[in-house]
Amino acid sequence: MTKKNWPLYEVFVRGKRGLNHVHVGSLHAADDEMALHNARDVYTRRNEGVSIWVVRADHITASSPGEKDPFFAPAGDKVYRHPTFYAIPEDVPHL
C-alpha cells in the first residue's frame, strides 16, 4: 500500500467572545472533522478557546515575503490612518 500522509491544517482559536480567531499552530488530520477534534485536544486543553477554525494549509493564499515591500507599500505612506498622526493638545480629555 502506498503511504499517504494526512494533510496539514492550520488552526485558529477565538480565545473568548469579542476577540478575533488567532493562529495558534498546525496539525495533521485525515479530514476536516478530525482536524477539529485534534485541534481541541492539542490546542485547547485548558479552555484556551471558545471557537476553533481549521483550514487546510494548501487552501491558504499568502503574500510572499519577496514582494513584501510593494505589497504593503500602500499602507506605508498613509500615516494618517494612525491616531498618533494627529497632534491634539494634552489637556483635551478623552481623545
Partner 1 sequence: MDGLETQFDETIAADQRIEPRDWMPEAYRKTLIRQIAQHAHSEIIGMQPEGNWILRAPSLRRKAILLAKVQDEAGHGMYLYAAAETLGVDREELTEKLIESKQKYSSIFNYPTLTYADIGVIGWLVDGAAICNQVPLCRCSYGPYARAMIRICKEESFHQRQGYELLLAMVNGTDAQREMVQESTNRWWWPSLMMFGPPDADSPNTQQSMAWGIKRHTNDELRQRFVDMTVPQAAALGITLPDPGLVWNEERSAHDYTEPDWTEFKAVIAGSGPCNAQRIAHRRRAHESGSWVREAAVAYAEKQAAKQEAAA
Interface residue list for partner 1 (CB under 8 A): 1, 3-6, 8, 24-28, 30-31, 34, 41-42, 45-46, 62, 64-65
41 or 58: CB nearest partner 1 = 41
Find the largest Cα–Cα distance for the chain: 75
The CB-of-7 to partner 1 minimum distance in angstroms stands at: 9
Buried b (16+ CB within 10 A) or exposed e, 34-64: ebbebbbeebbeeeebeebbbeeeeeeeeee
The CB-of-48 to partner 1 minimum distance in angstroms stands at: 9
**70 with 33: CB under 8 angstroms?**
no
66 or 83: CB nearest partner 1 = 66
